[in-house]
Amino acid sequence: MKMLFLTGGSPATVFAPAPLATAARLAGHEVLVASPDEMVPFTSAVGLPTVPVTAGTMRGFMFADRDGRALDLPADPGERLRFNGRGFGRFAAASLPALRALAADWAPDLVVGGSLCYAAPLLAAEVGVPFVRHTWDLGEPPGIDEGAADELAPELSALGLDGLPGTDLWVDICPPSLRAADAPGPRQSMRFVPYNEQRALQPWMYRAPDRPRVCVTAGSRVSHEDELAYLQDLLDSVADLDVELVVAAPEAVARGLKADPDRVRAGWIPLDVLLTTCRLIVHHGGGQTSLTALNAGVPQLLIPNIPKMLPPCERISARGAALTLPADRQSPAELRAAAEEILGAPSYLARARAVRAEIARQPGPAEVVARLEDLARG
């Protein structure tokens, strides 16, 4: 069978479906991955054959309309979700011409798209094959779908549709206990398998330290001055704890941090390896980072800096595996106190390990490939 996977515009959207795409290849199926140009290095790095479908960037689609006019981010949280959806809709519209050309040359039997890859259901509807929606992390709020449907009204009308095409199957990598109560279905649970950029490992990265190890990160795409300042603030808030500190960040960002090199290790460190040795991770609430920590059984101090990240973070906290500090509670004193509470209370570690066990019980990617095969045959 031929299976076409679509990614979004960030590395996390590549790493999330990579286990399923790889399992499909290992099962003998033909697999292609369609990505924007800037994500091709990431899809290639995980060993997947890749077709670039747009030179546009996710930031460009988000902050400019189809005519190139600049757009401002709304202040209202609900409208901000619809704003995000319209940006992902423009990304989908820009990808469709290349996707149609790809499908004409290489007709897929099934299309798998990430949570917000709206070109995937449109293409599947056009060529008459099943559409599988693959979650990227802990789930997305439905307001984003509404914005995408508004933006894609012309493309939907051309297909005779007045809304986004339906989903034949959801592949969900979020542990069931952490899913939103109103998550639509049908759902095929799949075990989360961490993927991230790798590098040559040093022994300390996988060796358990003498003191509790705390990882601080703001994700893989930290680059701007305000993002560096955010990461620096996170580090400063826990710098005087009696722990070993590791900052996981791009090398250029790590060099810009003000930290004692004798007390703080900083640089590009594969999280899937590092977190197996950590007692706590302090981070921005990114979905792939959160799932990687849960997969390692590590408690989290979550500092979400984007409103849509707050509900998933709060679900992890409600499970007892984390503490979440919303925007109005992110002072250095509160950050330090929250870190001390997590390190001092064994319950956070126990709950994180319980979620790790839940993840381990999920069906693996190879099992889910069989569901895709049945869907394509049907």
pLDDT per residue over 6-47, tens digit each?
999 999 999 999 999 999 999 999 999 999 999 999 999 999
Q: Is 262 exposed, middle or buried (0-12, 13-18, 19+ CB in 10 A)?
A: exposed
Where in the sequence of the chain do the CATH 3.40.50.2000 domains occur? 2-192+362-377, 203-360
Going by pLDDT thresholds of 50, 70 and 90, the confidence category of residue 220 is: low
Judge whether residue 269 has pLDDT over 70. Answer: yes
Residues 6+ positions from 49 with CB-CB distance below 8 Å:
31, 32, 33
| pLDDT confidence of residue 73 | 92
Task: Report the greatest alpha carbon distance in the chain.
Answer: 64
Backbone phi and psi for residue 279, each to the nearest 5 degrees, phi listed first: -105, -20
Q: Rounded to an integer, what distance in angstroms lies between the CA atom of residue 338 and that of residue 343?
A: 9
Q: Which fold has domain 203-360?
A: Rossmann fold (3.40.50)
Average pLDDT, the chain: 93
| pLDDT confidence of residue 39 | 95
Assign 3-state DSSP to the chain and report helix, strand, coil percentages, each to 5: 50, 15, 35
3-state SS assignment for residue 281: strand
Going by pLDDT thresholds of 50, 70 and 90, the confidence category of residue 314 is: very high
- What long-range pairs does 38-47 form, CB within 8 A, spacing at least 24? 38/9, 39/7, 39/8, 39/9, 39/10, 39/11, 39/13, 39/14, 42/11, 42/14, 42/15, 42/197, 43/7, 43/14, 43/18, 45/197, 46/14, 46/15, 46/18, 46/22, 46/195, 47/22
Q: Is the peptide bond before 165 cis (omega within 30 degrees of 0)?
A: no
Judge whether residue 343 has pLDDT over 90. Answer: yes
Judge whether residue 224 has pLDDT over 70. Answer: no
Mean pLDDT highest for which of 90-104, 199-213, 220-234?
90-104
305 or 360, greater pLDDT = 360
Judge whether residue 184 has pLDDT over 80. Answer: no
226 or 368, greater pLDDT = 368
What distance lies between CA 88 and its chain's CA centroid? Answer: 15
In the beta sheet, which residues pair with residue 131? 111
Going by pLDDT thresholds of 50, 70 and 90, the confidence category of residue 225 is: low
Going by pLDDT thresholds of 50, 70 and 90, the confidence category of residue 223 is: low
The fourth-level CATH superfamily of domain 2-192+362-377 is Glycogen Phosphorylase B; (3.40.50.2000)
